Amino acid sequence: MTTHKFPVEVAALTRVRIDKSPMRLASERFMDNKVALVSMIVLLLIILVSVGAPLLTHFNPNVQNLSNTDAPPSALHLLGTNSEGMDYLSRDLYGGQRDLLIGFSDTIIVLWIGIVLGGIAGYSGGWVDSLVMRVCDFMFNFPFLLLIIILSSIFNTTGVGLLITVIGLTGWPGVTRLIRGLFLNLRQAEFVLAAKMAGAGDLRIIFKHMIPNIMGTLVVTATFQMASIISAEAALSVIGFGVQPPTPTWGNVLSGALDYFTLRTEPWAWLPPALLITLTILCINFIGDGLRDAFDPISSASLKCLPGNSHLQ
């Protein structure tokens, strides 16, 4: 029996793909991270119910019904209605669409600006680098709130598009500085010099050698960016400079419920949007943590849970 078993095992072992790419190893480590995995599922659910809001509720979130204001939860209005008779549930669900749209598109905008500017600065160095970094310093101190106030008074309203543009065009300095640092480091990495010795041109070095090696950090940065952008939207709405009401966003639903009476007596008004914001940000942050641990097993505490990965340096 045992003599038969051994060669079978060897055969099974040799069939295992031993040549796992770093990306594959990272995704396997991510899958082992329960918290990140659950966060991923919850976030996907939130995205699904937001995008699929028209299928889940037949109430238009913007239609007033002045004969049914401040209604408590009922079979018809599961989370009640607000002071203008709008259905809270549908406002919460539709609100997610805007928040996620702002989060995703601003993350992409910020990341693109960051990669292009940071990449140019870090790769070329010298005066180009100094110039980009000085612009970054300037933008770091740029009065973001003032810009929003001025723009909203110029356009007399704050639409989703305007908010996306403003957050996108002011949010890039941090990411740019980070990516510039990564490029600066990699520029002198020996494998980049080796590629240069092999005759590789600048574009080949940037796209084939540098960017794949900062991909992990980029993805992690992107998740944290998105979390902070969503919380920025909520904060702006609460102080009155977010997307113009009655357009539903989580921040708007929340700020509409911020009076003493509602806070005391109608938890169904503010609890769901607050929970959704918190849950979304938490999930994104946990996913970011999971990704960081997956991409960078040395610096993470998860290393000791993964016996046999110590050879990964």
Partner 1 sequence: MTEALLKVQDLVKYFPIHRGVFQHTVGHVKAVDGISFTVNRGETLGVVGESGCGKSTMGRSVLRLIEPTRGRVEFEGKDVLALNKQGMRIMRREMQIVFQDPYASLNPRFTIGQTLLEPMKIHHLHNPRERLQHVYRLLDRVGLAAEYARRFPHEFSGGQRQRVGIARALAVDPKLVILDEPVAALDVSVQSQVLNLLEDLQNELNLTFVFIAHDLSVVRHISDRVLVLYLGRMAEIADSEELFTHPLHPYTKALLSAIPVPDPDAKRERIILQGDLPSPANPPSGCPFHTRCPVAVDKCRQEVPVWREVQSGHHVACHLV
The residue ranges that bind partner 1 (CB under 8 A) are: 18-23, 130, 189-191, 193-201, 204, 209, 212-213, 311-313
Cα–Cα distance for residue pair 47/168, rounded to 1 Å: 21
Asked if residues 124 and 180 have their Cβ atoms less than 8 Å apart, the reply is no
Give the residue with the Cβ less far from partner 1, 166 or 214: 214
Say how many C-beta atoms besides its own lie within 10 A of residue 229's C-beta: 25
Hey, how many other C-beta atoms are within 10 angstroms of the C-beta on 24? 11
CB of 214 to partner 1, least distance (A): 11
Question: Residue 239 — φ and ψ, nearest 5°?
Answer: -90, 5
Structure tokens at 180: 């510039």
Indicate the residue among 16 and 66 with the shorter CB distance to partner 1.
16
Q: Structure tokens of 181?
A: 């640092």
Instruction: Report in angstroms how near the CB of residue 201 gets to partner 1 at its nearest.
Output: 8
Rounded Cα distance, 109 and 105, in Å: 6
Q: What is the DSSP letter of 208?
A: I
Q: Shortest distance, CB of residue 195 to partner 1, whole angstroms?
A: 7
Phi first, then psi: give them for residue 81, nearest 5 degrees. -130, 165
Question: How many Å is the maximal CA-CA distance in the chain?
Answer: 84
Of the pair 284, 291, the CB lying nearest partner 1 is at 291
Q: Measured from the CB of residue 16, what is the shortest distance to partner 1 in angstroms?
A: 13
Nearer to partner 1, 20 or 44 (CB): 20
Least Å distance between CB 143 and partner 1? Answer: 24
Q: Is the Cβ of residue 155 or residue 191 nearer to partner 1 in the bound state?
A: 191
Nearer to partner 1 by C-beta: 12 or 298? 298
CB of 303 to partner 1, least distance (A): 14
CA distances from 275 to 88, 253, 282, 298 (A): 14, 12, 10, 34
